[in-house]
Structure 1
């Protein structure tokens, strides 16, 4: 298992529930999220920056 720190830029959504779903979907593309936080919001661009720690399972080579 490997742990990674990632940053993602997410489009702001109409409702908090939609935003949560979009964030979780985007993070799961990179691995299994351990924790995450919205660290900044650009209201002009309608973007949120999310920082997260995710884990991935690596295959063992023989």
Structure 2
């Protein structure tokens, strides 16, 4: 397993519960998320930083 630092931009949602679901859905695409945090909000977009695990692939 390898850890990765991920930054993503997520459109803000009307409902905070929907924002959390949208963040988790986007991060799920990039590996197993260990932790995440919203670090900035500008122009109706939230910047999310996360640490995720991905499986090692051998060539």
* TM-score bracket relative to the smaller structure: over 0.9
How many residues are treated as equivalent by the alignment? 59
Question: Normalising to structure 2: TM-score of the pair?
Answer: 0.93
Secondary structure in 1 matching 2:53 = strand
Larger Rg: 1
The two structures, once aligned, show a CA RMSD in angstroms of 0.9
Map 1:21-32; keep pairs closer than 5 Å.
21-32=21-32
Displacement of 1:31: 0.4
Displacement of 1:58: 1.9
Which ranges in structure 1 are unaligned for 5 or more consecutive residues? none
Which ranges in structure 2 are unaligned for 5 or more consecutive residues? none
Matched, 1:5 2:21: no
Distance 2:53 2:18 in 1: 24
Displacement of 1:57: 1.0
